[in-house]
């Protein structure tokens, strides 16, 4: 079991739906990340939050909207997604202010857009 918990594990939604992905960690990490991973590809960074503030947005379409309500929670709000957005969405977290601290990943949400 990972220390980064993601819910739901699977999500099927239509292109007009609104849904949210949730990520939670209780390791005291103050940096949290969203990645998108397509089959047989490496994770691609989408967003980075540091101390609950958005610090990196990798030019992600506005149909993806991140939110960090507190230091333990990270959400990804989804609206009007396209079929090509079907992928595994991974959340990760890491310590800040200490060098050489790895990112810890959750097991992801498998998203399918109909």
Contact residues: another protein, CB under 8 A: 2, 4, 6, 30-31, 40-43, 45, 48, 50-51, 55-56, 90, 92, 94, 96-97, 99-100, 102-108, 110
Nearest approach, Cβ of residue 80 and another protein (Å): 26
**CB burial class (10 A; 0-12, 13-18, 19+) of residue 80?**
middle
Alpha helices in 5-103 (DSSP H): none
Contact 68, 55 (CB under 8 A): no
Nearer to another protein, 2 or 7 (CB): 2
Nearest approach, Cβ of residue 42 and another protein (Å): 4
Nearest approach, Cβ of residue 2 and another protein (Å): 6
Nearer to another protein, 73 or 88 (CB): 88
Contact 105, 6 (CB under 8 A): no
Nearer to another protein, 6 or 111 (CB): 6
Nearest approach, Cβ of residue 70 and another protein (Å): 16
Contact 96, 27 (CB under 8 A): no
Pairing of strands 64-70, 4-7: unpaired
């Amino acid at each position: 079991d990972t220390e980064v918990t993601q819910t739901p594990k699977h999500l099927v939604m239509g292109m007009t739906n609104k849904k949210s992905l949730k990520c939670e960690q209780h390791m005291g990490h103050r940096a949290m990340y969203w990645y998108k991973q397509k089959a047989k590809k490496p994770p691609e960074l989408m967003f980075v939050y540091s101390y609950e503030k958005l610090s990196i947005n990798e030019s992600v379409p506005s149909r993806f909207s991140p939110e960090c309500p507190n230091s333990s929670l990270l959400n990804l709000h989804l609206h009007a997604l396209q079929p090509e957005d079907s992928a595994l969405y991974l959340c990760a977290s890491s310590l800040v202010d200490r060098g050489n601290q790895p990112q810890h990943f959750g097991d992801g949400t498998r998203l399918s857009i109909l």
